[in-house]
Amino acid sequence: MSDEISLSLIQSIVDSQKDLIVIFCDGKEILLNKAFKKFVGTPSLEQYKKDFGPFVNNFVPHPSYFNADFIEQGELWFDAILRKPKLEQIVSMMNATYDPHAFAVEVDATTPGYVIVNFNDITQSLIKRIMIENEASTDKKSGAYTKDYFLQVAKSYQEAAVFNEKIIGTILIDVREANESSTSDFVELLKNSTRQDDMIVRWDEKKYLIVFLTDGELNGLPMLKKLEKILEKRGDDSSSYELSLHIQKKGESIDSVVKKSIGF
């Protein structure tokens, strides 16, 4: 089999992958898969080489990520990144619209002279990990997830829904005459009344959003009725609750669902 045919076969294989893949020979790029070309906005390997120069130019020079500053003189970048601990083998690259993404890097150098590099987009999971490490995921007064944290991981939640062949449901709880001193008890009640995978988000001082996965609208109604009964028993002369259910429509994004839920 000729080298040209072999490269064409490899191209068709890597083009079927979602991750960004680049193959190097003697330190130079010889193949980009479709996902990589789409990410950087280039039609071909030849055009990429004209527009981008050395491959390390892709890496954002941020101290939290691997970049050209970590490469010693005369060293190839993929050799340099392998010197770092596995959890630190991460780069940041800009897409065609200049949005930064974080990628976990896997380097395969088992074939002499060739290196296959896989870039797995971990932007959402990395944000989630950083926010948890910084204790930024939960509202300190209530114990619910913060609005900012939810907005950061919403895309991952949408992907989880697709993977599990589910749709997204939300229940907005509007608290009237809320007592700030009892917010933690209120959220604890919600946690005990919902499933472990459901997200309870404190949207503002008096609004809470429960986000969950469901098979359809009818399956969301029992949760709504259950919460209404529980909160009706909890209510008194100084507090009352208004609940509303929203279920994702076919082709609708999680952003759209949330906007309808909150009433934007």
Section 118-134 average pLDDT = 76
pLDDT greater than 80 at residue 181:
no
The ranges assigned to domains in the chain are 3-121, 126-262
Instruction: Tell me which CATH homologous superfamily contains domain 126-262.
Output: Reverse transcriptase/Diguanylate cyclase domain (3.30.70.270)
Q: Do domains 3-121 and 126-262 have the same CATH topology?
A: no
Q: Which CATH number fits domain 3-121: 3.40.50.300, 1.10.340.30, 3.30.70.260, 3.30.450.20?
A: 3.30.450.20
| Average pLDDT over every residue of 29-48 | 95
Residue 1 has pLDDT above 50, yes or no: no
Each residue's pLDDT tens digit, 79-90: 999 999 998 999
Answer yes or no: pTM beyond 0.85.
no
Query: Secondary structure of the chain in the HEC alphabet?
Result: CCHHHHHHHHHHHHCCCCCEEEEEECCEEEEECHHHHHHHCCCCHHHHHHHHCCHHHHECCCCCCCCHHHCCCCCCHHHHHCCCCHHHCEEEEECCCCCEEEEEEEEECCCCCEEEEEEEECHHHHHHHHHHHCCCCECCCCCCEEHHHHHHHHHHHHHHHHHCCCEEEEEEEEEECCCHHHHHHHHHHHHHHCCCCCEEEECCCCEEEEEEEECCHHHHHHHHHHHHHHHHHHCECCEEEEEEEEECCCCCCHHHHHHHHHCC
- Residues 18, 24, 29: CA angle, nearest 5 degrees: 85
